[in-house]
Amino acid sequence: MAHDTFNSLLMGYLDGELTELERQRVEEHLDLCPQCSAELVAFRRLKEMTQPMRLAIPDDRHWEEYWSHVYNRLERRIGWILFSVGIILLASYGVYQMLAHLLLDEGISILMRASIIALVVGFCTLLVSVVRERLHLAKTDKYRRIKR
């Protein structure tokens, strides 16, 4: 029997998870292979050592409150999404109103209006450019995992 196949079956043998036929095949191999027999002994000792141990689990209180924590997070996430959408809409509307007011106000000189338009267009261009560059780098930069 190939050792790779045997290694897996050895685990099943150790844990009592094999069929009768598989168990016989393993025992036949073990009779002929002292190296595998020695491995089995070592694995058995490891299993015996961890047998009286178990994963520490949180007390009952944590399980009783588990669902309410999940529920609160679900609710908060929806709250945050609505809050963020509201802020974005309000900010956009505010900027639009401000620009409309400034640009339509005849008391403001043409130079001032042109400056405001240039400022807003320039800011938007820079923002789009930086965001596009960041997105591109995040996908393609081969040194992105190296810490500066």
Residues that bind other proteins (CB under 8 A): 7-12, 15, 17, 42-43, 45-58, 62-63, 66-67, 69-71, 73-74, 77, 147
Task: Pick the closer one to other proteins by CB: 79 or 94.
Answer: 79
Q: How far is CA 75 from CA 19, 67, 69, in A?
A: 50, 12, 10
What's the angle, vertex CA 17, arms to CA 15 and CA 20, rounded to 5?
125
Nearer to other proteins, 59 or 106 (CB): 59
Q: Which CB, 53 or 104, lies closer to other proteins?
A: 53
Q: Which is nearer to other proteins, 78 or 91 (CB)?
A: 78
DSSP per-residue letters across 25-47: HHHHHHHH-HHHHHHHHHHHHHH
In angstroms, give the least distance from the CB of 70 to other proteins: 5
Residue 123: which region, alpha, beta or left (left: phi > 0; alpha: psi -120 to 50)?
Answer: alpha
For other proteins, give the closer residue by CB, 8 or 109.
8
Could you tell me the smallest distance in angstroms from the CB atom of residue 99 to other proteins? 36
Q: How far apart are CA 31 and CA 37, in angstroms?
A: 8
At closest approach, how far in Å is the CB of 138 from other proteins? 14
CB of 13 to other proteins, least distance (A): 10
Min CB(41)–other proteins separation in Å? 11
CA 124 – CA 4 distance, rounded (Å): 61
> How many C-beta atoms surround the C-beta of residue 129 within 10 A?
10
